[in-house]
Amino acid sequence: MGVRRPAIKGTWEMKVRDFGTFDDPLLLCGGPYSNLQALQALAEIADGNPCVCTGDVVAYGAAPSETIALMRTLGWPVVAGNCERQIAEAAPDCGCGFGIEGTCDRLAQSWYPYALSGCDDEARAWMADLPDIGTFQQGSRRYAVIHGGATTINRYLWPSSAAEDLQSEIEAIEAHIGKIDGVVAGHSGIAFQRRINGRHWINAGAVGLPPHDGRPETRYAILDNGEVVFHRLHYDHSAAKTEMERVGLTQGYHIALSTGVWPSEDILPPELTR
Ligand SMILES: [Fe+2]
C-alpha cells in the first residue's frame, strides 16, 4: 500500500465519518493497545451497545491481531490512532511522537515491530479505512471524535494543557466539519474533561494501560446528556501481563499492567509525574 499522505505531520485531507446518533448513554474509550483481556471486559460491559473509540487499537500489548478482530466484530465506531496510521502504511515506527532516544522511543522499538507483525493485509486495510474525525449526535449536541489533535494526530494534550492549546484544536476541527459542542479525544492515555469556551473537551483515557496512578484498573467513560462520568475498568490484568511475558514483550509495559505505573515518564508534563 502506497503512502496515502503524511501519516503524522503536515496537512492532509481529513477523512470524516458520521457515526450517527446515540441518544442513550454512550460508552467512550481509547487505546485498547492490543490488550485483548481489557477489550473483552469492556465488551461485556457494553453488552451489545456501541462504544466510541479514539484509536490506537493496537500498541503495547500481546494480542494485536485478536484485538483488531474483536474490535471489528464489535463494530464499534473507531477513529484512526497514530498506531493505525503507521501500521496501515507499514511505517518503521509507531509515530507516537516520543522524543528520539528517550525511554518511550526505546521501548517502542520492541513493541512496535511486534504489533506490526501481528497485523495482516486485511487488518491493515481496515486501519487504512478508519476516519481521522468521527462525528456523532447525542440529543441536541454534536461531538467530534479525534485521536490526539486535529492539527497533529499525535499531539499530547493533558488535563493541565493551556486552554489555548485545546481551543486551537477545536478551531481546527470546526474548520473541517463546522460547529461542535464537544470533542472526544485520546492518545495521551489520561482521562480528563475540560470546558473550553462552551465546548466540552473529553479525553476518554485508555482501556489498554492504566493511567499511571498506581492502580491496575484502566479507564472508560460514559457520556449522557452533556455530562461525562469516568469509570475504572476492572479486568484480568494478570492474564494480559502473562501473555506479554509469553511473547517476549518484557520491556516494562507488562509490569505497568499490574503496578499501574508507566515504565517511563518521558512524555508526561512535570505535574503528572509521580
Ligand atoms: Fe496515540
Q: Is the pLDDT of residue 235 over 90?
A: yes
Please give the pLDDT value at position 255.
97
How far is the centre of ligand 1, averaged over its atoms, from the C-alpha of 20 (Å)?
24
Please give the pLDDT value at position 67.
98
Cell numbers found for residue 234: 476492572
How far is the centre of ligand 1, averaged over its atoms, from the C-alpha of 244 (Å)?
20
How far is the centre of ligand 1, averaged over its atoms, from the C-alpha of 21 (Å)?
26
Per residue in 80-99, pLDDT tens? Answer: 999 999 999 988 888 887 77
How far is the centre of ligand 1, averaged over its atoms, from the C-alpha of 186 (Å)?
7
How far is the centre of ligand 1, averaged over its atoms, from the C-alpha of 147 (Å)?
7
Per residue in 127-157, pLDDT tens? Answer: 999 999 999 999 999 999 999 999 999 999 9
Per residue in 15-26, pLDDT tens? Answer: 999 999 999 999
Please give the pLDDT value at position 3.
33
Average pLDDT of the chain to the nearest whole number: 93
How far is the centre of ligand 1, averaged over its atoms, from the C-alpha of 203 (Å)?
12
Instruction: Tell me the residue ranges of DSSP E strands in the chain.
Output: 16-21, 26-29, 51-53, 133-138, 141-145, 182-185, 192-196, 199-203, 218-224, 227-233
Q: Is the torsion defined by CA of 166, 100, 237, 208 positive or negative?
A: positive
Q: Confirm if 1 and 195 have CB atoms less than 8 A apart.
A: no
Q: Are strands 182-185 and 133-138 parallel, antiparallel or unpaired?
A: unpaired
How far is the centre of ligand 1, averaged over its atoms, from the C-alpha of 56 (Å)?
5
Give the pLDDT band (50/70/90) at residue 102. confident
Q: What whole-number percentage of the chain has pLDDT above 70?
A: 95
Give the pLDDT band (50/70/90) at residue 241. very high
Q: What whole-number percentage of the chain has pLDDT above 90?
A: 85
CA 78 – CA 147 distance, rounded (Å)? 10
How far is the centre of ligand 1, averaged over its atoms, from the C-alpha of 30 (Å)?
9
Q: Are strands 51-53 and 26-29 parallel, antiparallel or unpaired?
A: parallel
Q: Is the pLDDT of residue 54 over 70?
A: yes
How far is the centre of ligand 1, averaged over its atoms, from the C-alpha of 248 (Å)?
22
Give the pLDDT band (50/70/90) at residue 105. confident
How far is the centre of ligand 1, averaged over its atoms, from the C-alpha of 87 (Å)?
12
Please give the pLDDT value at position 95.
82
Give the pLDDT band (50/70/90) at residue 100. low
User: Cα–Cα distances in Å, from 26 out to 52, 83, 116?
Assistant: 8, 24, 31
How far is the centre of ligand 1, averaged over its atoms, from the C-alpha of 239 (Å)?
24
